[in-house]
Amino acid sequence: MKTVGLLCGREHSFPPAIIERVKRLGARDGVTAEFVKLGGTQMGEPARYSVIVDRISHEVEYYRGYLKHAVLQGTYVINNPFWWTADDKFFNYSVASKMGIAIPKTVLLPQKGYPNDVDITGESLHNLEYPVDWDGLLQEFIDFNQYVRCFTFGKTDIVPVHYDPKERKYLVDHQYLTPELGARVVKDAQTINQALGYEMNTIEFAIKDGVPYAIDFLNPAPDFERDRITDFYFEQVVEKMARLVIDRALNGKPSNAWPRWEEMLGIGAAAGFTGAPRSAFAGQKAAAAPSAGSAQGS
Ligand SMILES: Nc1ncnc2c1ncn2[C@@H]1O[C@H](COP(=O)(O)OP(=O)(O)O)[C@@H](O)[C@H]1O
Ligand SMILES: [Mg+2]
């Protein structure tokens, strides 16, 4: 039996629905689902779950620590807790922009203040130029005439939805995008997820003069509540998430969840060996086959 665990907070409609759906759809392949239960974790403790769907570890530090441990024990976690810890909006904008996605012009500025419990003085900040030009552009405003929010399931199954950002409302409107624009939105969302490794996400595009600008694509625990996403999309989300986690329970390889921006930008192979000293690699081979000569790499 393979078990999918759900880690979530104050959600009402999605958790029981996904657990029930995974049980129903997964039964013939021996996949079931339940709420994750945790009460302290020992090093080396074997993985109880084949897959964990994480919707709350950004708010509970212990959960994040547990999830990283679970990955080490072979659990497939959606979304990858290591990447979630590392990513930030400016970096993600920069990666997407290099990959040809339209992005509003954005500047990263030094923060204006520091928490009181951190001992930072003027001397600590001597690497910063002073004064900082706080009037500099932060982000270009896209004066959009259309706005879409895409649900994404796995990296490539993309469901664009007409979204009203002022009312924070999802609208069911299948004719909202022309086929050409819809195809571009789907392709851009796929590129973003493939590069950054998200499998459960929402990606927002503001559309101006026919160009979709990616605005917000860092929502790794997107809202799945029925009242807010409409009955129509709720049903789609439950079905597609259930099929995704069953597939990952049966076929998931943890390396699938890793970001691929190094590979996609041509810097090096995905999954972390970019720039590793060749001597380290030679050392691994030598350990496996002691007769191999060792190369000194740089
Ligand atoms: N560059 C921009 N141009 C136009 N509208 C924007 C821009 N950035 C954000 N917005 C608007 O503000 C809303 C919130 O911004 P977003 O980046 O999605 O932040 P959050 O992380 O709070 O969701 C967006 O849904 C969009 O309507
Ligand atoms: Mg947003």
pLDDT (tens digit per residue) in 175-189: 999 999 999 999 999
Long-range contacts of 182-187 (CB under 8 A, 24+ apart): 184/212, 185/148, 185/150, 185/158, 185/160, 185/212, 186/150, 186/158, 186/160
Asked if residue 74 has pLDDT above 50, the reply is yes
Q: What is the mean pLDDT of residues 50-74?
A: 96
Atom of ligand 1 nearest to the CA of 141: 3
Predicted pLDDT of residue 136: 67
**Could you state, in order of their start, the residue ranges of all structural domains in the chain?**
2-85
Atom of ligand 1 nearest to the CA of 139: 1
pLDDT tier at 86 (50, 70, 90 boundaries)?
confident
Q: How far is the CA of 246 from the centre of ligand 2 (A)?
A: 28
Predicted pLDDT of residue 122: 84
Predicted pLDDT of residue 290: 41
Architecture in CATH for domain 2-85: 3-Layer(aba) Sandwich (3.40)
pTM of the model: 0.88
User: In the structure, which protein residues have their CB atom closer than 6 angstroms to any atom of ligand 1?
Assistant: 104, 139-142, 165, 204, 206, 215-216
Rounded to whole angstroms, the Cα distance separating 223 from 11 reads: 9
